[in-house]
Amino acid sequence: MDERLQDILDTVQKTAVEVGSAAGDLISSAGQKASSLLSVSKLNVRVADLKARRSVLLQEVGSMVYGTHTGEIADSDTLLGKLREIDGINQEIDQVNAEIARLRQTARVCPLCGADAKPGDTFCRHCGTRL
Ligand SMILES: [Zn+2]
């Protein structure tokens, strides 16, 4: 294998276990919101934003790795910065998804029509949506 590419892949692998933790703040603020219905849709938007950002980063990382393969040496600090950002994004996506699941479980309103639900209801009494 190309030596420069191997160097970069080695560096990438060494840092694979380090995961940044810049994502905690969002959850604590999101958990305090009274309207779980509003929070869930906002969190879904957040997840979509994070995934879009991750796609861009993955594409950039791919370009850098391929560039190294074709002789255009990638700056490993830049590459690692992108990988760390992806780590942070993945972590945040996990946390936001967990928060969405938690809100959905504890929500006592229909996610579709907003009608109040009683504990133990499986379907909305107003519109029939699964709760
Ligand atoms: Zn409903």
| b/e map 74-95, b = 16+ CB within 10 Å | bebeebbebbbbbbbbbbbbeb
Whether residue 123 is contained in a domain is answered as no
Whether residue 124 is contained in a domain is answered as no
- What number of helices (H) and strands (E) belong to the chain? 4, 0
Whether residue 98 is contained in a domain is answered as yes
Q: Judge whether residue 96 has pLDDT over 90.
A: yes
| pLDDT for the residue 53 | 97
Whether residue 16 is contained in a domain is answered as yes
* Cα 33 to ligand 1 centroid, rounded to whole Å: 21
Number of domains, the chain = 1
- 109: helix, coil or strand? strand
Whether residue 90 is contained in a domain is answered as yes
| pLDDT for the residue 38 | 63
- Whole-prediction pTM value? 0.61
Whether residue 116 is contained in a domain is answered as no
Ligand 1 (single-atom ion) residues, CB below 5 Å:
110, 112-113, 115, 124, 126-127, 129
Whether residue 118 is contained in a domain is answered as no
Residue 13 · residue 76 · CB < 8 Å: no
């209801």: which residue's tokens?
121
State the residue range of the domain holding 80.
3-106
